[in-house]
Structure 1
């Protein structure tokens, strides 16, 4: 799933562009059992003194205990503490009581009738100031528009991701408002029946959004945009459709009934930031008004769209997903830049830059040799998703793709493995099993030797570091060991991002050498966080003068890391690396 990333770093983004893509309904492939719980959300927007309040009533049926646990909104992706806008929680059904637990984000729900109960509460905007990056994860409730998701706005019973649910949403919003969600467009009454994971990762926007539809065969692509953005609605729709075509061609699959992309620009005072996140059959973008489709944004969108197949057309995510993140997130990370390169949206040099960044992240990570068991334990103790699953998995994918091509003389590729896994998922019918590492190993065993299978399992578990030969990307690129310096901005990042002021300037840092001074007021900032290969562009106001500075954010050496560079005789616009050969 989704990862929110700071777009100025490779794959770290921040955009407020509500661009909801409705694609494939994985939940409906699940055989819903008679024990499913029924959830009915009634969402009523109410404008009180220019403040929009969302009143929510939840009716629950099919509960199996007289004492259940309610989960309050708190988390979206890796961001916590999102439930401060929840107020006036109360029981609505007779003989129902809500009491505290030791966890403020969970409540006990006690009922005399053990099969049904109703509650209600209000959702309020709990932040001030302009729409900006550091509030984009919070609920957006404005007089003319709404943007929420399950993680920051919906109370629900404690459920496992694979639990079956029958869920409906009934919206009471002003006449003339648009509505677009993970479950449909325009219809004020929406219904979903499938696994809870699909509801848990849903997004909802309403209000002054411009809705555009693109239809191709069975595919319905919707774009919901509000505000002013430097990219026209037609251009945005064209770019999104282009990426869809690239991914469909890779998977050889046109079965995408619905997908939504939402776009919400930040306030005009926000510059140099863009980002987004993946949801159920949807992708949301938040961006500075002057930021277009950056490489980071294109990569993130490609990554999240790839999840429509991996894992959602292969198998259900397990309740301890850290066991399979190396595949679902890591292999997806590998393909995000590869597919953009194949589609002509990245040059070969840009493709290599993205791969090199992932390799740097992997080889320099303090978590490089953490085991799968340890990742699961960290998650159970409240630790967020570790970046190592992305970068180690991407390195494994590069090694595996090369190994398959070498053994089969380029007659087969990792793409064949991915498509075979999807085909297996389709043949399971309604059983649609849980996705496991053993399932992936079983398919890859058809393409690599027994020794390579054992080596791959050691890579996955962090026992051995991933290694591949220097000719893995020849004839276009060669591998060499490069001394990588530590990323060092040379000042307080928190004050730079949130206060736009230079504080704690480090003596001898590249920032100081460039001429930046303590106390400078920053009026423009462009930085690719954690990427030492990209310069920092910083404009400050000092004594009435406007001064631009550029410097490399480098510090002490971190060590030698394998990196790929173009052969001196190679044309970066036309070179087709063997790993990129479409199949």
Structure 2
């Protein structure tokens, strides 16, 4: 082994010890800051949300507020701010879109009252690409925490620091409901990080709510509109089937009530134009989902979506990326791999359906992609949100790498271990050390522990440098590779023992 490889291996070994050390815990911090928001949902009368809070300026009379203007693929979110008032009247207010800041100049150490409204800034029918913008209509509202709350910049320190966030909501109008990532309480006092507040949702209006108890925690499903191709009860049953599989896989539990929303969007479905779209996001103790309310969106598409988004409770929200898009190959690609794996394990997909689906959605598109060999450093947030092929790349590349790695681990251990063991170990490390952030060194330390230095070379080659990932040379008995056009695809041999093959793939 070359000297630089020996040094790298030693460094990764020491990192592995640190990751798994019982002493690698976050330091105890001072009492968190606190803020109280009062929210009046004025969607029926004024098509806006009215929010107010009080906060003290610093010793120089400056109060710096944060509101993310460009984030999650959305731009110009400042356009959603309606009225903005400050009391006592300040000397100056500067809206700084480029830095997502609002700077108020007032008296030193002045307790300042802020009141503002948030409005919907588009008039066309709701489409999937509107999903992260404030949605405020006469019948209902749907907002992310990052779109509803303007926050004092000093309220949170780094991404592990917490603050006490008190939210007091006006009573909903008769015949309507209110719900959020934090439950249905109108007076909520929560200790949150900035990310936990941003990655939360708040809905109200003509939603329908369904609830059941899972291991002592309430699971909530909320939807609205009249669905064309499935019923509320079918989606609710899907949740009931999916949650136990995931909790069992992770050897974990729901540590708080969990909530899911499903919102209908409009995409045209005619003889000449057949468009549909589905999407979602894993949030704090919840996820949101959106689907075209037309013939193109069947329940089978929600099965995939709900497996993917539920996995983000663990991959993304517990095992957190250090540099977001630089680890999307993991947080989206490994999530994609495990969505299909758990669907096979839980019989939501048959073996035939699993092979057909991963060929159609992952393997063939990856090999046909025009960007499948760009280095990981070429994926920027702007490209991820604006270029469809770059957006798909981390899902596809991460899936292919997870498939390769899973097979290597099974072969090396003669079926005694799989990628599951590495994932469970990583989860436990993240739970033991909440300040741990997933990065390439953390992952390579695990590779070195479970495989050897050759696995690190493969990682550098395929993930960092972006070289094409071929299907594993040694496939489980019963599978073979067949070229379709310019891309390889998995096929099931006629004489395959499908029960044994399914068990191997789901291991």
Taking structure 2 as the reference length, the TM-score comes to: 0.82
For the 8 Å contact 1:99–1:108, the answer to whether it is kept is yes
Once residues 359 and 445 of structure 1 are traced to their aligned partners in structure 2, the CA distance between those partners, rounded to angstroms, is 27
SS in 2 for 1:369: coil
**1:178 equivalent in alignment to 2:177:** yes
For the 8 Å contact 1:477–1:577, the answer to whether it is kept is no
Q: 1:68 to 1:352 in 2, by over 3 A?
A: farther
Once residues 386 and 267 of structure 1 are traced to their aligned partners in structure 2, the CA distance between those partners, rounded to angstroms, is 22
Residue equivalent to 1:541: none
Residue equivalent to 1:421: 426
Residue equivalent to 1:580: 505
How far apart are residue 399 of structure 1 and its match? 0.8
For the 8 Å contact 1:209–1:224, the answer to whether it is kept is yes
How far apart are residue 83 of structure 1 and its match? 4.0
How far apart are residue 205 of structure 1 and its match? 0.4
For the 8 Å contact 2:145–2:199, the answer to whether it is kept is yes
Residue equivalent to 1:479: 481
Question: What's the Cα RMSD here?
Answer: 3.2
Q: In the comparison of the two structures, how many residue pairs are matched?
A: 468
Residue equivalent to 2:403: 398
Residue equivalent to 2:259: 260
Superposed CA offset, 1:407-434 (max 9, x none): 0001000011111111222333xx5322
**Correspondent of 1:286 among 290, 295, 298:** 290
Q: 1:140 to 1:349 in 2, by over 3 A?
A: same
More strand by share: 1
For the 8 Å contact 1:72–1:105, the answer to whether it is kept is yes
Residue equivalent to 1:45: 41
Once residues 65 and 391 of structure 1 are traced to their aligned partners in structure 2, the CA distance between those partners, rounded to angstroms, is 51
Superposed CA offset, 1:442-471 (max 9, x none): 223222122223222332202533234344
Residue equivalent to 2:80: 85
How far apart are residue 108 of structure 1 and its match? 2.0
**1:150 equivalent in alignment to 2:145:** yes
Once residues 112 and 68 of structure 1 are traced to their aligned partners in structure 2, the CA distance between those partners, rounded to angstroms, is 10
Once residues 140 and 496 of structure 2 are traced to their aligned partners in structure 1, the CA distance between those partners, rounded to angstroms, is 51
Residue equivalent to 1:12: none
Residue equivalent to 1:368: 372
**1:444 equivalent in alignment to 2:447:** yes
For the 8 Å contact 1:36–1:62, the answer to whether it is kept is no
Structure 2 regions of 5+ residues with no counterpart?
1-24
Aligned pairs (5 A) from 1:225-244: 225-230=223-228, 231-244=230-243
Once residues 232 and 52 of structure 1 are traced to their aligned partners in structure 2, the CA distance between those partners, rounded to angstroms, is 29
170-179 or 297-306, which deviates more: 170-179
Taking structure 1 as the reference length, the TM-score comes to: 0.72
* Structure of higher RCO (CA pairs closer than 8 Å, 6+ residues apart): 1
212-221 or 146-155, which deviates more: 146-155
Q: 1:112 to 1:35 in 2, by over 3 A?
A: farther
Q: 1:152 to 1:283 in 2, by over 3 A?
A: same
How far apart are residue 55 of structure 1 and its match? 1.1
How far apart are residue 571 of structure 1 and its match? 8.1
SS in 2 for 1:194: strand
Once residues 188 and 332 of structure 1 are traced to their aligned partners in structure 2, the CA distance between those partners, rounded to angstroms, is 34
How far apart are residue 174 of structure 1 and its match? 3.1
More helix by share: 2
